[in-house]
Amino acid sequence: MTKTLTAAVFHRTARLLLAALVIGVVIGSACFAFDEGDFQLWNTTSVSFDIHKDWKVAVEEGLKLGHDAGNLYYHYTDLGFVYRGAADWIDLGFNYKQAFSKDEEGHWLWENRPHFNVTVKGRLWDIDLADRSRFEFRDKEVDEDLWRYTNQLAAKLPFELTRFKLRPYFADQVYLNFEGKTFEKNRLYSGVSFKLRKDMDGGVYYVWQWGKCDGKWSDLSAIGLQVKFSF
């Protein structure tokens, strides 16, 4: 029964990924205080530890540079616990994220963001799939607090290249605000993950983000760099 249910879920998520990629290409592209089509640089570094056979703890630091990758405007720290004991095909995450973003006057504003994550994992046609649902509460220094839902569907191709074990992947991430049930933005990812050493992984990706703000459609693109340590 479980295998049948998992297969059905991943047939559905595979179709959703294909649809999301087509929509992203056809419609176009997020609205921030940046020029239309701004190019950015995103960086994340994370460290995770197994604290039990079913639990691990992870800390992630992230930075974003905008205005043609020349201005630091966003950084965050995310602390989380992941429970893997429910089943092989599902992970549950309990996180707390603190973020700081720069407004148009150059002032740094804080945001507290606890979030709960459910990640369903499996394989379809030898492609590793992961579908993550995230429910987060955004406690902001300015503006009204709100709840937001995001869904990220990722597909990692079933082959490795070179001695660094390069694995191409694609992902689509949708952001929806519960307040007003409005679409916020969408991100399309294309990248490669690789192995640097036994306890260290890396990744490089390109992301295209698009959305609607103040009645206007806007987009940006970024190159992302990832480093992950696992102990």
Percentage of residues of the chain with pLDDT beyond 70: 84
Q: On the CB side of 172, how many CA atoms lie within 13 Å of its CA? A: 15
CB atoms within 10 A of CB 86: 11
Confidence band of 60 (pLDDT split at 50, 70, 90): very high
**Residue 142: which H helix or E strand, with range?**
none
Q: Can you tell me the distance from the alpha carbon of 185 to that of 163, in angstroms, rounded to the nearest whole number?
A: 37
CB atoms within 10 A of CB 221: 15
Query: Three-state SS for 23?
Result: helix
Q: What value does the mean pLDDT of the chain take?
A: 87
Percentage of residues of the chain with pLDDT beyond 90: 71
pTM, full prediction: 0.82
The CATH number of the domain holding residue 111 is 2.40.160.40
**Residue 70: which H helix or E strand, with range?**
none
**Residue 71, both tokens:** 């201005």
Structurally, how many domains does the chain consist of?
A: 1
Q: Which residue type sits at 214?
A: D
For 80-102, write each residue's pLDDT tens digit: 999 999 999 999 999 999 999 99
Whole domain around residue 54: which residue ranges? 2-230
